[in-house]
Chains A and B, each alone.
Chain A
Amino acid sequence: EDQVTQSPEALRLQEGESSSLNCSYTVSGLRGLFWYRQDPGKGPEFLFTLYSAGEEKEKERLKATLTKKESFLHITAPKPEDSATYLCAVRGGREETSGSRLTFGEGTQLTVNP
């Protein structure tokens, strides 16, 4: 069974204070690790997909990295508008038995104060 653990549960930063969010995963045959951003009362918004260890993706102030056991979402010089819950999800196993389901962690709630 795929498992995803995110830490910390909540993170409060000052504007401009860089930090990282962690996503540890256990999966049989990784077929993708996904990062989403979710604002209160809304659906998750897709950010990145990573497929293999060593891969990195960047978008504005966000950078996602992947190892064989975990992924990090690095936030550089965050702004108040980066405040949201960041969700990590994995897709693993074989298509024939596991389909295309995403297994999500419980998220990290990020607050960036001005």
Chain B
Amino acid sequence: EAEVAQSPRYKITEKSQAVAFWCDPISGHATLYWYRQILGQGPELLVQFQDESVVDDSQLPKDRFSAERLKGVDSTLKIQPAELGDSAMYLCASSPAPRGNTEAFFGQGTRLTVV
């Protein structure tokens, strides 16, 4: 069964350091999302890609967060510098349709702890 792959599963970093997360969506999925989930809350969208283009990054803290999907396949989310409030689960998801209302399939996430 096809899955969204994320790495690493867990990351501990010190405040002010840089950290990066990687995501490989389900093969053939044109739409890729990064969500952030704080413990006890629902996921919140950070950025959406359609192929290699950013469709929605209105909730991305652009002063410290960046995301890219250079070849329209896998994606990297970076935080520099990390702050204590960035501790959360970072979830990647993908959808098969370039437009429309299909469901998103999530990976297992990266649990980030900033100390």
Within residues 24 to 63 of chain B, which ones have a CB less than 8 A from any CB in chain A?
31, 33, 40-45, 48, 55-56
Residues of A in contact, count (CB < 8 Å):
26
Give the distance in Å from the alpha carbon of A98 to the alpha carbon of B99 in the complex.
12
B41 touches A46 (CB 8 A): no
B108 touches A43 (CB 8 A): yes
Given A99-B48, A99-B55, A100-B55, A46:B42 Cβ within 8 A: no
Task: Indicate if B105 sits at the interface (CB-CB under 8 A).
Answer: yes
Give the distance in Å from the alpha carbon of A102 to the alpha carbon of B105 in the complex.
12
B108 touches A100 (CB 8 A): no
A106 touches B101 (CB 8 A): no
Within residues 22 to 45 of chain A, which ones have a CB less than 8 A from any CB in chain B?
31-32, 34, 36, 41-45
Given A41-B111, A42-B108, A100-B31, A51:B42 Cβ within 8 A: no
Pairs A–B under 8 Å by Cβ, sample size 16: A32-B103, A42-B108, A43-B91, A43-B109, A44-B91, A44-B106, A49-B101, A89-B42, A95-B99, A99-B55, A99-B56, A100-B31, A100-B56, A100-B99, A100-B101, A101-B56
